[in-house]
Amino acid sequence: MDIAEYKRAFLVNSELSTSEEPPDNSNGITWYTCDYLFASSHQTKSGNLLVFASPGEKSVKASLKISAESCLDKPTYLSENAFYCTENDDQFKNTRLVVTRISRGQMRTAMVTAGPPPDFAHPDAYAALEKTLLDRL
Protein backbone atom coordinates (compact mmCIF):
# COMPACT_ATOMS: atom_id res chain seq x y z
CA MET A 1 0.00 0.00 0.00
CA ASP A 2 1.58 3.26 -1.03
CA ILE A 3 1.59 6.54 0.87
CA ALA A 4 -1.17 8.08 -1.28
CA GLU A 5 -3.53 5.16 -0.57
CA TYR A 6 -2.79 5.36 3.15
CA LYS A 7 -3.27 9.15 3.29
CA ARG A 8 -6.54 8.99 1.32
CA ALA A 9 -8.04 6.24 3.50
CA PHE A 10 -7.09 7.79 6.84
CA LEU A 11 -7.38 11.50 5.91
CA VAL A 12 -3.75 12.28 6.70
CA ASN A 13 -2.80 15.73 5.42
CA SER A 14 0.82 15.72 6.62
CA GLU A 15 3.78 14.72 4.51
CA LEU A 16 4.78 11.12 5.21
CA SER A 17 7.66 8.79 4.52
CA THR A 18 7.81 5.03 4.86
CA SER A 19 10.16 2.72 6.70
CA GLU A 20 10.04 -0.97 5.86
CA GLU A 21 11.37 -3.37 8.46
CA PRO A 22 13.17 -6.59 7.52
CA PRO A 23 10.87 -9.63 7.66
CA ASP A 24 10.46 -11.00 11.19
CA ASN A 25 10.03 -14.74 11.72
CA SER A 26 8.41 -15.87 14.96
CA ASN A 27 6.28 -18.90 15.87
CA GLY A 28 6.33 -20.11 12.27
CA ILE A 29 4.87 -16.85 10.95
CA THR A 30 6.70 -14.31 8.83
CA TRP A 31 5.67 -10.72 9.54
CA TYR A 32 6.23 -7.83 7.14
CA THR A 33 5.98 -4.33 8.60
CA CYS A 34 5.91 -0.90 6.98
CA ASP A 35 5.69 2.20 9.17
CA TYR A 36 4.21 5.46 7.88
CA LEU A 37 6.24 8.24 9.48
CA PHE A 38 5.65 11.96 9.63
CA ALA A 39 8.25 13.46 7.28
CA SER A 40 9.04 16.28 9.71
CA SER A 41 10.46 13.94 12.37
CA HIS A 42 11.02 10.60 10.55
CA GLN A 43 10.39 8.97 13.94
CA THR A 44 6.82 9.69 14.98
CA LYS A 45 4.48 7.16 13.42
CA SER A 46 1.22 8.06 11.77
CA GLY A 47 0.50 4.34 11.53
CA ASN A 48 1.69 1.07 10.09
CA LEU A 49 0.90 -1.84 7.81
CA LEU A 50 1.51 -5.37 9.03
CA VAL A 51 1.18 -8.32 6.61
CA PHE A 52 1.57 -11.96 7.53
CA ALA A 53 0.62 -15.48 6.45
CA SER A 54 -0.71 -18.03 8.93
CA PRO A 55 0.15 -21.57 7.83
CA GLY A 56 -2.53 -24.07 8.77
CA GLU A 57 -5.27 -21.48 9.38
CA LYS A 58 -8.23 -22.25 7.11
CA SER A 59 -11.14 -20.09 8.31
CA VAL A 60 -11.36 -16.41 7.36
CA LYS A 61 -14.21 -15.98 9.84
CA ALA A 62 -12.16 -17.45 12.71
CA SER A 63 -9.13 -15.37 11.77
CA LEU A 64 -11.18 -12.15 11.79
CA LYS A 65 -12.76 -13.11 15.11
CA ILE A 66 -9.31 -13.46 16.69
CA SER A 67 -8.22 -10.11 15.21
CA ALA A 68 -11.40 -8.45 16.53
CA GLU A 69 -10.35 -9.29 20.09
CA SER A 70 -7.95 -6.34 19.90
CA CYS A 71 -10.81 -3.90 19.21
CA LEU A 72 -12.04 -1.48 21.85
CA ASP A 73 -15.50 -1.37 20.28
CA LYS A 74 -17.55 -3.73 18.14
CA PRO A 75 -15.93 -4.03 14.70
CA THR A 76 -17.72 -2.71 11.63
CA TYR A 77 -17.54 -5.32 8.88
CA LEU A 78 -16.97 -4.15 5.32
CA SER A 79 -17.36 -7.67 3.93
CA GLU A 80 -16.79 -11.27 4.99
CA ASN A 81 -13.07 -10.53 4.60
CA ALA A 82 -12.59 -7.20 6.41
CA PHE A 83 -13.54 -4.95 9.30
CA TYR A 84 -12.45 -1.73 10.95
CA CYS A 85 -12.61 -0.69 14.59
CA THR A 86 -10.98 1.36 17.31
CA GLU A 87 -7.84 -0.39 18.46
CA ASN A 88 -7.78 -1.33 22.14
CA ASP A 89 -4.47 0.16 23.22
CA ASP A 90 -3.61 1.61 26.63
CA GLN A 91 -1.98 4.71 25.13
CA PHE A 92 -3.75 5.35 21.85
CA LYS A 93 -7.15 4.73 20.37
CA ASN A 94 -6.12 4.17 16.76
CA THR A 95 -8.18 3.19 13.77
CA ARG A 96 -7.50 -0.41 12.71
CA LEU A 97 -8.47 -2.01 9.40
CA VAL A 98 -8.07 -5.79 9.12
CA VAL A 99 -8.29 -7.62 5.78
CA THR A 100 -7.81 -11.36 5.43
CA ARG A 101 -8.20 -14.03 2.76
CA ILE A 102 -6.96 -17.44 1.77
CA SER A 103 -4.43 -17.05 -1.01
CA ARG A 104 -1.73 -19.37 -2.34
CA GLY A 105 -2.94 -22.05 0.07
CA GLN A 106 -2.44 -19.87 3.17
CA MET A 107 -4.40 -17.47 5.32
CA ARG A 108 -2.99 -14.01 4.56
CA THR A 109 -3.79 -10.99 6.70
CA ALA A 110 -3.11 -7.28 6.37
CA MET A 111 -3.63 -5.00 9.38
CA VAL A 112 -3.43 -1.25 8.92
CA THR A 113 -3.33 0.97 11.98
CA ALA A 114 -3.67 4.74 11.78
CA GLY A 115 -4.43 7.55 14.12
CA PRO A 116 -5.31 8.65 16.63
CA PRO A 117 -8.04 9.74 16.61
CA PRO A 118 -10.26 7.26 14.80
CA ASP A 119 -12.39 8.76 12.07
CA PHE A 120 -15.08 6.41 10.84
CA ALA A 121 -16.95 9.03 8.84
CA HIS A 122 -15.77 7.74 5.47
CA PRO A 123 -16.22 3.94 5.24
CA ASP A 124 -16.03 4.13 1.44
CA ALA A 125 -12.32 4.94 1.78
CA TYR A 126 -11.84 1.85 3.97
CA ALA A 127 -13.75 -0.24 1.41
CA ALA A 128 -11.44 1.00 -1.37
CA LEU A 129 -8.41 0.18 0.73
CA GLU A 130 -9.87 -3.26 1.51
CA LYS A 131 -10.16 -3.98 -2.22
CA THR A 132 -6.56 -2.87 -2.79
CA LEU A 133 -5.25 -5.08 0.02
CA LEU A 134 -7.35 -8.09 -1.02
CA ASP A 135 -5.95 -7.81 -4.55
CA ARG A 136 -2.39 -7.78 -3.15
CA LEU A 137 -2.67 -10.49 -0.50
pLDDT tens for each residue of 76-119:
999 999 999 988 776 777 888 999 999 888 889 999 988 766 66
Rounded to whole angstroms, how far apart are CA atoms 86 and 76? 10
Determine the pLDDT at residue 36.
87
Name residue 48's beta-bridge partners.
35, 113
Q: List, in order, residues 6 or more apart from 6 with CB less than 8 Å away.
A: 12, 16, 36, 46, 47, 49, 112, 114
pTM of the entire predicted model: 0.86
Query: Domain segments of the chain: what residues?
Result: 3-136
Q: Does domain 3-136 have CATH number 3.40.1000?
A: yes
**Residue 117's pLDDT is what?**
60
pLDDT tens string 10-64: 888 888 888 888 888 887 788 899 998 888 766 677 888 889 888 777 899 999 9
Average pLDDT over residues 60-71: 91
